[in-house]
Amino acid sequence: MKLICFFALVIATSALRIPKQTAQKKDYDFKAEKKAVVAELDQRFDGYREHCYPLPGDGCRCQETENGAKVSKEYKSDFECKTEEKRKRLCEDKECKNEFKNINKCQTKEKCDKDKWTPYEACLNKCMQIRPLPSSK
């Protein structure tokens, strides 16, 4: 009986020693993927009026203010949606890194003190402004 238990124990431990095949890590370049996506978005959205987004096919949907109320309007052609101006962001999100560290623990405006949240919000608003570039004609 002891011999059978010994063989069962040997078989069980040898099964544990079989090396598991690990999944191969793919060499995936996230930075290159991100740059490609950003370039595609820049190409697709460049030249649109502010608060306008392209629709599948042709045309766009714009958020506009009429009589103090926000209204969504659809335009049928890209000609109505685009301007001649090229746009760029004034700064990158990493410029607000220090302000973000101050609010990172509280996460929401309601939980944070105003003295922590206001500088972060001001930095983000400054970053999100779009400055028109001189159009090339």
pLDDT over 90, % of the chain: 2
Task: Name residue 86's beta-bridge partners.
Answer: 133
Global pTM? 0.36
Contact 133, 85 (CB under 8 A): yes
Count Cα atoms within 13 angstroms, Cβ side, for 135. 7
Render pLDDT for 54-89 as a digit per residue (tens, 0 to 9).
888 788 888 888 888 889 999 888 778 877 665 555
Q: Is 47 left (phi over 0), alpha (psi -120 to 50) or beta?
A: left
Q: Say whether 134 sits in a helix, a strand or coil.
A: coil
